């Protein structure tokens, strides 16, 4: 029996998400919950945000078993506007037994998908050199401060004006430190996005999530890119963060 809030998600994704086990390239079975995929809550927010903005070029850092990737791909498929999804993960064929990649193939979504199997610091720099642009970037790779910071650095350059960057696990101290950097030093480039409006229609949920956002307890945090002038004057004061 389908959970009521799953009805909001695209059909391909619902079918994917309801599988108990996913088969890897080795033939081994992997439980969908065993790969630290994005939470249902995050997925529902990303889903509503997508319907609101219809980003055509999406990028995610951290692909794992492909949960958030499959959602974004099935949304591109639903809209059928030529949308594409790029994902970065150095461990897809090793630690994750190619599960995500095989699922993309299983649901016939390959034509919209590119996977870069390398560390994000290498891939993002290459994408910048290639002058790629994205409308939505989901940062959910390594959660170490230095890696998240590098992901932020390049994401700002790769985002289209008005594009959105989302951070998973915002309460993790490493991620949270990057977010305080943004809010104290990068506020002219990245404006906090109110994600509460994407958290369903129940008033109780709205109040709960508004309070969580105020107290910085939200798992997902988003910003909208303000302008393409992201190069700062070298004399700018560093605000404490
Ligand atoms: C939390 S999981 C991603 C979950 C995924 N977004 C989903 O919803 O299914 C984190 C992923 O980041 C990947 N990862 C770790 N270090 C990375 C790095 N430096 N660059 C890119 N990905 C990295 C891991 O292999 C892992 O698959």
Q: What percent of the chain has pLDDT over 70?
A: 98
**Residue from 33, 60, 89 to probe ligand 1 pocket by mutation (most atoms less than 8 Å from CB):** 89
The answer to whether the CB of 141 falls within 8 A of the CB of 117 is no
Contact 222/138 with Cβ under 8 angstroms?
A: no
| 58 occurs within a structural domain | yes
Extract the tokens encoding 73.
Answer: 């791909």
Q: Which of 37, 59, 62 to mutate to test the pocket of ligand 1 (most atoms within 8 A of CB)?
A: 62
Decide: 42 in ligand 1 pocket, CB within 6 A. Answer: no
Of 30-44, 121-135, 177-191, 201-215, the poorest mean pLDDT is in 201-215
State in Å: Cα 203 to ligand 1 middle: 33
C-beta of 64 in contact with ligand 1 (< 6 A): yes
Identify the H or E element spanning 155. helix 145-158
> Does the C-beta of 100 come closer than 6 Å to ligand 1?
no
| 150 within some domain | yes
Q: Look at residue 17 in the predicted model and tell me its pLDDT.
A: 94
CA–CA separation, 15 and 160 (whole Å): 32
Q: How confident is the model at residue 3 (pLDDT cuts 50, 70, 90)?
A: low
For residue 57, which of 112, 14, 125 has the smallest C-alpha distance? 112
Asked if the structure places residue 230 within a domain, the reply is no
CA 89 to centroid of ligand 1, rounded, Å: 6
CATH of the domain at 113: 3.40.50.150
Q: Which residues of 152-165 are buried (b: 16+ CB within 10 A; e: fewer)?
A: bbbbbbbbbeebbb
In-domain check, residue 231: no
Full-model pTM: 0.96
Q: Which of 16-30, 128-142, 203-217 has the lowest mean pLDDT?
A: 203-217
| Closest atom of ligand 1 relative to the 36 alpha carbon | 1
Judge whether 236 lies within some domain: no
Task: Tell which wins on pLDDT, 228 or 46.
Answer: 46
Q: 222 vs 208, which has greater pLDDT?
A: 222
Domain count, the chain: 1
The answer to whether residue 232 is domain-embedded is no
| Residue 24 belongs to some domain of the structure | yes
Which pLDDT tens digit goes with each residue over 8-36? 899 999 999 999 899 999 999 999 877 68
For residue 95, which atom of ligand 1 is closest to its CA? 25
Cα torsion through 10, 107, 39, 92, rounded to 10: -150
State the DSSP string of 36-62: -PPPHHHHHHHHHHHHHH--SEEEEE-
205 pLDDT band (50/70/90 cuts)?
confident
Least confident segment among 1-15, 52-66, 80-94, 144-158 = 1-15
User: Which range of residues forms the domain containing residue 157?
Assistant: 4-225
pLDDT, position 216: 77
In a domain, 198, yes or no: yes
- 3-class secondary-structure state, position 4: helix
> DSSP label at 236?
P
């Amino acid at each position: 029996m389908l959970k009521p809030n799953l009805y909001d998600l695209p059909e391909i994704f619902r079918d994917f998400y309801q599988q108990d086990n996913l088969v890897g390239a080795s033939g081994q079975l992997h439980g969908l919950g065993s790969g630290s995929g994005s939470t249902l809550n995050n997925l529902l927010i990303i889903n509503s945000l997508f319907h609101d903005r219809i980003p055509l070029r999406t990028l995610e850092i951290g692909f794992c078993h492909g949960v958030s990737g499959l959602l974004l791909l099935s949304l591109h498929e639903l809209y059928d506007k030529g949308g594409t999804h790029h994902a970065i993960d150095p461990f897809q064929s090793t630690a994750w037994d190619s599960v995500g990649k095989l699922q993309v193939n299983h649901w016939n979504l390959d034509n919209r998908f590119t996977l870069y199997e390398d560390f994000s610091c290498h891939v993002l720099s290459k994408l910048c050199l290639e002058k790629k642009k994205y409308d939505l970037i989901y940062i959910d790779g390594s959660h170490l401060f230095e890696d998240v910071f590098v992901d932020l650095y390049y994401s700002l350059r790769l985002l289209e004006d008005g594009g959105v960057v989302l951070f998973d696990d915002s309460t993790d101290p490493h991620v949270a430190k990057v977010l305080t950097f943004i809010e104290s030093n990068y506020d002219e480039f990245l404006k906090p996005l109110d994600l509460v409006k994407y958290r369903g229609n129940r008033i109780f949920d709205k109040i709960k999530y508004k309070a969580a956002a105020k107290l910085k307890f939200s798992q997902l945090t988003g910003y909208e890119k303000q302008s393409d002038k992201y190069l700062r004057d070298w004399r700018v004061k560093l605000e404490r963060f």
